[in-house]
Structure 1
């Protein structure tokens, strides 16, 4: 059989860890081939070897049957291999075109020919249905559009084999649908795609074959048409996985969070939260469902003290916390699992142990008279690492060296350990595998059952339906409906999220 890519017996080691051990991956022309595994299984490492960012200790790579030595990404580009990274590699204050041609600029008499480049970008964009404005600034376009720019970058360089690293982790449901259409268009053009993912629904929908990696070992390759999500989940984590979360009915108590007539403006001074009212009681999970950009971030920032609100009130256990600093809000009893774990959840160059006390380092026993007590810090870190199953070589490993799932477990451990009355969980399972998702959902329900109030903000409708006791739908900065998960469907929620009203109803109690 003719393969466009063959990775045979690849072994990649880092100090103290074998990331890939004797892994084989074979991809045919014109197929979408999924690379499936838990966070930290070695998927991205394997693709970084293929793209020339890492050099393997053992094994060989063949492109179209010919053995190659890919020592850097430029060689990968020359061989027709392009990579769309999970964390985009874009310059925010450059235009779309400037980002696409960076390092590969067409020039005329020593001058960059931007007009010619824009024309080429527009042609490629139209050919593959990418619909990107070549002259737009990166800082002014959505995350979904930025991802299209990354795809265009690879196509501009003539890529025949595209590696997508967790491409749907930061996309809304609508953008995911659009991305699947784009991938299908690329395949029709004879391209081949390797899709790094752990989203089983997407694999079943779009992929032809799937290669499973578990703890750095290749488990095998199966045809998607001959498998099912349960079987893939078991192959991925080595045990049966529950897709629905076991939980008893909520027993709501006193109101913990009460938001009334809140008005918040965004960075451009446009009203993002418009007279919003919401409450969360002790012993319940309230899920906020909505398309990204409808005020979710501004609502969380206002509650946690990160953004000042124009008017309205925010009460925690009857006390006004609306004008407090973020530290005072946290000390009042608010825990926050932030939407972007890299920007707002961790200091990536600090040890994971140090990250465990970011909210409490100034308190005893972690410091005295401004001097940190590292013995106590690392003692607490070891306890949380064990309790929350954070897989790390040691508590002194830098946070950036951990997989996304383990970074998230560390943040959740830190926030839950503080025993807050209100826990705000924003996209708590974004970019995580089924095993980590199951773990985090159980922890949220455990906190609910201990009488804590949980505010869950997620773009994953199945997560909202599965975990919430009540669902508040947000649209253009307003709560347009409050429904119970057992009394609605994903389709109804989708309509509400798009601004439609359900027949014969106003806002449910």
Structure 2
């Protein structure tokens, strides 16, 4: 094989689904030892293309070559035989099993009739050490962090002999620290002769780690560029098809009275461990308060307490002076609280309901959507059409099932529904998670528009840039407490990072 032969070459790959061309004559070359980023908005066709390379879909037209030879990849097993492995965005792990049991599932080493667990565990240990993965072969999946589960997925591909690794949005679920560690792992993989395709829409990561970038927009290749010869603005423009501003445009806040007052809020989890420890927080009318923290410090529990999904042990939650702690979600919603949930599939949408049904999910029992005990479908459709247009939700029709929309459009549907309630308090939990720059810009503008109408907005996000850009005031959460408050214009990533890690250094004592 000549030095110039790509390890994988896609030639004019086309894939159609009813009503849409997901991949339109896409060509791409992956060279040995490089990290090739595949960049595009949600729904641009990135995952479809990689599912073709991994044998989950068949192309309608076009061909694939691996190491210069034409191949037909008609199943994931065939992809694995060809040395291609995929680390999926949603991990495919069996929770009660150990790391080793998960890794060998389906390709167990035998010793006579028995599985040679010892041999497998030793191999897992060896791979873990070779690539700096620090995976414990005997740990149970449900006991390890999300970042560690992802490493198990990486070992799984290596164990099966992959030389070509596809990473699908690998940083979507990681903390800033885990992202740094993953970058180191990916660099180590290519240093050892592996080749990587990285699907992402995070420009910062592309600039930091990739060698080459191919940009896809609406199923077509817009360009392939060498990373060192481009910049984030140029990439964003190619990806979205217009100029994108990274700086959030907003005027200064003019906060009014307290809308939300949380005082001494305490709650325990099922194991009796405190997850909220006398937490105090307030949000005023006409301001966005951002909560910064490393995942797992009480953010989810706080949101659940505020929205009625979790009982609290003591303390109070007041909305405009009215006590809301331990009330039902419907009572809280009707009191003027809207909620963009952190997991849009679990708590935001009923995926098998249509877009129009999801739009009235919280108001179907009220007029005009219900008349004399029956649903009024005309009123429901009219409302859905109005919101789909106003919030630019891209869907074939309002009768389309929510599950077939891209992540960005699912999120827009939720935001449309929640903002249309005209709430006093809008709780936005990870509102831009997994969205591309165009959709992020849209969501952030909606939050600021709510603030400018005099509403109180509580923003919970793991994206520090988002917290600093969008918030008017930042509260840092650590081990179930708010440990400090800072103003975005007076802080930086480093100071916030220290506070998020529990460092109690007070303002003014952190030196660059």
The TM-score range, normalised by the shorter chain, is over 0.9
The corresponding residue for 1:91 is 94
**1:409 Cα deviation after fit:** 0.9
**Aligned mate of 1:246, from 249, 252, 272:** 249
Taking the aligned partners of 1:269 and 1:221, their CA distance within structure 2 comes to 53
Q: Is the 8 A contact 2:34 2:211 kept in 1?
A: yes
Q: Which residue of 1 aligns with 2:50?
A: 47
Stretch moving more, 77-86 or 365-374: 365-374
Shift, 1:86, TM fit: 0.9
Which of 397, 404, 413 is the aligned partner of 1:394? 397
The Cα shift of 1:504 comes to 6.2
**TM-score normalised per structure 2:** 0.97
Cα distance, 1:123–1:288 mapped onto 2, change above 3 Å: same
How many Å separate the matches in 1 of 2:348 and 2:80?
34
| Deviation at residue 167 of structure 1 after TM alignment | 0.5
Distance in 1 (alpha carbons) for counterparts of 2:68 and 2:335: 63
Instruction: Name the structure 2 match of 1:495.
Output: 498
Q: How big is the shift at 1:450? A: 0.6
Point out the more displaced range, 194-203 or 375-384.
375-384
1:360 aligns with 363
Matching of residues 279-428 of structure 1 within 5 Å: 279-428=282-431
2:462 aligned partner: 459
Supply the distance in 2 between the matched residues of 1:496 and 1:443 (Cα, whole angstroms). Answer: 28
Stretch of structure 1 that moved more, 49-58 or 105-114: 105-114
CA shift digits 1:65-117 (9 cap, x unpaired): 11011111111111111111111111222222221111111222222222222
Q: Number of aligned residue pairs: give it.
A: 506
Distance 2:270 2:119 in 1: 35
Q: Determine which of 60, 64, 79 is the counterpart of 1:61.
A: 64
Deviation for aligned residue 1:372: 2.7
Secondary structure of the 1:300 match is helix
- Per-residue deviation at 1:363? 1.8
**Aligned pairs (5 A) from 1:89-238:** 89-238=92-241
SS at match of 1:3: coil
With structure 1 as the length reference, what TM-score do the two structures score? 0.97
- 1:331-367 deviation digits (Å, cap 9, x = unpaired): 1111111111111111122222221121112222223
Mapped pair 1:440 → 2:443: yes
Alignment deviations for residues 405-424 of structure 1 (CA, whole Å, 9 cap, x no partner): 11111111111111111111
Matched, 1:17 2:20: yes
Distance 1:445 1:327 in 2: 26
Answer yes or no: is the 8 Å Cα contact 2:310–2:326 preserved in 1: no
The Cα shift of 1:377 comes to 2.1
Deviation at 1:384, TM superposition (A): 1.4
Q: How far off its partner does 1:370 sit?
A: 4.5
Residue matched to 2:473 = 470
